[in-house]
Amino acid sequence: MNLKCVIVEDLQVAADYLTKCCEKSGQIEVLAHFPNVAEALVYLNQHSVDLLFLDVEMPGATGFELLDQLAYFPKVVLTTSKSEYAYDAFEYNVTDFLKKPFTYQRFQESLQKITTAPENNIAATASDHIFIKSEGKLVRLNNDDILYIESMGDYVKFVTGDKKYVTHNTIKNLEEKVNRISFIKVHRSYIINISKIDDIRENDLYIKGNEIPISKAHRNEVMKRLNII
């Protein structure tokens, strides 16, 4: 197996070490290294990679903001020196979390996870409905009935006009599975039904009286999808 990877890391010594670990493994080919999100995004939107080693805090934008803007979903290993990001890492459905500096043995453990983790590239469904597990049964929700989906840690809440359903899942996972014509991610914690937006004021949008934040990273994409005359 030869995984093609990109390293996004602003600390040169860490990037060099990671490159050396990849070379030593014989299983990962490092295509490029970028010290910031902006440069990485330009490359990643033109080249498909299998794996991303991603620092979190970098100049200009964070690793999470890069994930928010990526048009596809490679396997991701977060590399940071701060354990506090572990929770966010889980929310973003990343494969592993390497705390810098890490030993080669720890890197190998990560590689094991990478090679056994399921592929992230699930095609977006064009279906007009989804089924969710709620209260011990499978419930059919028509896309047109869903107002928005909100993250609640390890769970998500599907909000319809008259009901709320809580189910074990993540926004990151759902983002790949919901119909992308009907839905759009507007914030790391929210996916909304684009046809249900009542109005937008500065950094928030409103659906049936519910205020939903639009993150800076998603604002352009949201505005592009609106039918603004």
Residue 104 interacts with other proteins (CB under 8 A): yes or no: yes
Cα 2 versus chain centre, distance:
24
Which is nearer to other proteins, 105 or 227 (by Cβ)? Answer: 105
Least CB distance to other proteins at residue 140 (A) = 46
Shortest distance, position 103 Cβ to other proteins, whole Å: 5
The piece of 5-13, 165-173, 179-187, 194-202 that touches other proteins (CB under 8 A) is 5-13
Q: Which stretch binds other proteins (CB under 8 A): 38-46, 95-103, 110-118, 214-222?
A: 95-103
Rounded distance between C-alpha atoms, residue 102 and residue 182, angstroms: 42
> Which two tokens mark 48?
């498909």
Q: Closer to other proteins by CB, 14 or 156: give it.
A: 14
Alpha-carbon distance of 229 to 226, in angstroms, equals: 9
Task: Report the first-to-last Cα separation within the chain, whole angstroms.
Answer: 50
Q: Which of 100, 177, 219, 225 binds other proteins (CB under 8 A)?
A: 100
**Helices 12-25 and 104-116 meet at what angle, rounded to 10?**
60
175: phi then psi, degrees, rounded to nearest 5: -55, -35
Which of residues 38, 47, 72, 82 is near other proteins by CB under 8 A?
82
Pick the binder of other proteins from 19, 27, 36, 81 (CB under 8 A).
Answer: 81
Residues numbered 110 to 129 that lie near other proteins (CB under 8 A) are none
Stretch that binds other proteins, among 96-104, 174-182, 203-211, 220-228 (CB under 8 A): 96-104
Residue range at the interface with other proteins (CB under 8 A); choices 85-93, 101-109, 138-146, 209-217: 101-109
Least separation in angstroms between residue 184's CB and other proteins is 30
**In terms of CB distance, is 13 or 226 closer to other proteins?**
13
Q: Which of residues 8-67 bind other proteins (CB under 8 A)?
A: 10-14, 16-17, 20-21, 24, 57, 59
- Interface positions with other proteins (CB under 8 A): 10-14, 16-17, 20-21, 24, 57, 59, 81-82, 100-101, 103-104
